Amino acid sequence: MSATTEQQPAPQTAQPAAPGSGARPRVLSGIQPTSESFHLGNYVGAVRQWVDLQREYQPFFFIADQHAITVEWDPKVLRERTLRGAAQLLAAGVDPKRSAIFVQSHVPAHAQLAWVLNGLTGFGEARRMTQFKDKSAKGGEGAASVGLFAYPVLMAADILLYRPHFVPVGEDQRQHLELTRDLAQRFNSRFKKTFRLPEPYILKETAKLYDLQDPTRKMSKSSSSPGGIIEMLEDPKRTAKKIRSAVTDSGAEIRFDLEEKPGVSNLLTIASALTGQSVAHFEEAYAGRMYGDLKKEVAEIVVDFVTPFRDRTLEYLDDQAYLMEVLADGADTAGAVAEATLRDVYQQVGFVAPLRRSAAGA
């Protein structure tokens, strides 16, 4: 499937501004802490584009830990993965001076707005979400959690609180974004115009990566075998080995051809995505050479790329004091924006505002 990028944001003049200030149009996105490590497909397909958006937009990027408890989880693992997620964003180049980087559960307004939106969401509307249908298919709807059912409503709250212009997500999240827009519109017409209708910014799959062992399938956490997926944080020696053992195709010619040569094409895509050189460049460089040569060089390219990323991530994880400061700043910036929206919403829907006692008088 070819990716569409609708509503490509018009470039704005770059203008440095503190996170949370209003000088640049806002973008917002979240990533779930559901794996030990980003894989190369996440990095190339999403996180790298978040980094680029920092130049012209004012980003809010968060680790969606509350979404991660909609399916079974282990508390220790969740905590570890949340910190790893944040460290990897920093290692990838998300800059806390330009972007608010935070953990979803640190900003209570997400769950609070989600509750209000639950009251505006139809049961049938939520049930139609294909991700819910897919994820609940295995054990049956009765075994799925209410959290999994309400997942898209929490996602709508994540987004609407910040009134972002654009939400960079993968194609699989498009339906959730449509629900978000529907809910925003419903709220705005039932009450007062409160929410901006966010535009999807569907990430271009410029380089769609495939499983190294089964190159007709997407490289993905849920469907790839350990040998088929390149994890950004695993030992680079293992990564090199995986690439050298990648499945290649019959014949001997090195050329890009997704139908006839999915394995070779995948290696060429990886080389191109990480070096910025075109696929044609690598085809030319490898004319008349052997699959083994290609695998060896792609392994080197990947190792050169992941090693510094991994080192930086491990450094951030070692310096947890710094990491926690970054997340506290992010939550402050995000929390101020989110709470202002929430207060507005509470007022519109008819909640009585509590008497605010000053700390001194309490």
Question: What is residue 283's three-state secondary structure?
Answer: helix
**Binding status of residue 159 toward ligand TRP by CB under 6 A:** yes
Token readout for 66 is 């509350």
Q: For ligand TRP, which stretch binds (CB under 6 A), given 117-125, 153-161, 185-193, 246-254?
A: 153-161
**Binding status of residue 67 toward ligand TRP by CB under 6 A:** yes
**Count of residues for the chain?**
362
Catalytic residue among 135, 208, 261, 295: 135
Among 19, 20, 26, 30, binds ligand TRP (CB under 6 A): 30
Closest contact distance (angstroms) between CB of 56 and ligand TRP is 19
**Binding status of residue 114 toward ligand TRP by CB under 6 A:** no
Closer to ligand TRP by CB, 158 or 283: give it: 158
2-40 exposure pattern, b = at least 16 Cβ within 10 A, e = fewer: eeeeeeebeeeeeeeeebbeeebebbbbbbbbbbebbbb
Closer to ligand TRP by CB, 158 or 231: give it: 158
Q: For ligand TRP, which stretch binds (CB under 6 A), given 28-36, 139-147, 260-268, 347-355?
A: 28-36
Instruction: Count the neighbouring beta carbons within 10 Å of the beta carbon of residue 249.
Output: 16
Catalytic status, residue 138? no
**Residue 240 in contact with residue 303, Cβ under 8 Å?**
yes
Q: For ligand TRP, which stretch binds (CB under 6 A), given 29-37, 307-315, 343-351, 354-362?
A: 29-37
Closer to ligand TRP by CB, 67 or 98: give it: 67
Closer to ligand TRP by CB, 220 or 347: give it: 220
Phi, psi (deg, nearest 5) at residue 336: -65, -45
Catalytic status, residue 135? yes
Q: Which value, to the nearest 10 degrees, does the dihedral of the CA atoms of residues 195, 200, 203, 208 take? A: 130
Among 24, 26, 27, 29, binds ligand TRP (CB under 6 A): 29
| CA gap 254, 270 in Å, rounded | 14
Residues 6+ apart with CB under 8 A from 336: 20
Token readout for 315 is 């450094």
Among 96, 109, 121, 158, binds ligand TRP (CB under 6 A): 158
Closer to ligand TRP by CB, 28 or 268: give it: 28
Residues 6+ apart with CB under 8 A from 106: 327, 328, 330, 331, 335
Q: What is the largest CA-CA distance in the chain?
A: 82
Question: What is residue 31's three-state secondary structure?
Answer: strand
| CA gap 334, 118 in Å, rounded | 22
Closest contact distance (angstroms) between CB of 281 and ligand TRP is 32
Cβ-proximal residue to ligand TRP, closest one: 30
Closest contact distance (angstroms) between CB of 198 and ligand TRP is 9
Closest contact distance (angstroms) between CB of 157 and ligand TRP is 9
Phi, psi (deg, nearest 5) at residue 183: -65, -40
Total of chain residues touching ligand TRP, rule CB under 6 A: 12
**Binding status of residue 107 toward ligand TRP by CB under 6 A:** no
**Binding status of residue 155 toward ligand TRP by CB under 6 A:** yes
Q: Which amino acid is at 43?
A: Y
Q: For ligand TRP, what does the binding mask look like between residues 165 and 184, x meaning CB under 6 A? A: --x-x---x-----------
Q: For ligand TRP, which stretch binds (CB under 6 A), given 26-34, 82-90, 181-189, 205-213?
A: 26-34
Walk across the sheet containing 58-63 and list its strands: 100-103, 58-63, 26-31, 166-169, 199-202
Catalytic residue positions, numbered: 135, 218, 221
Which residues lie near ligand TRP (CB under 6 A)?
28-30, 32, 64, 67, 155, 158-159, 167, 169, 173
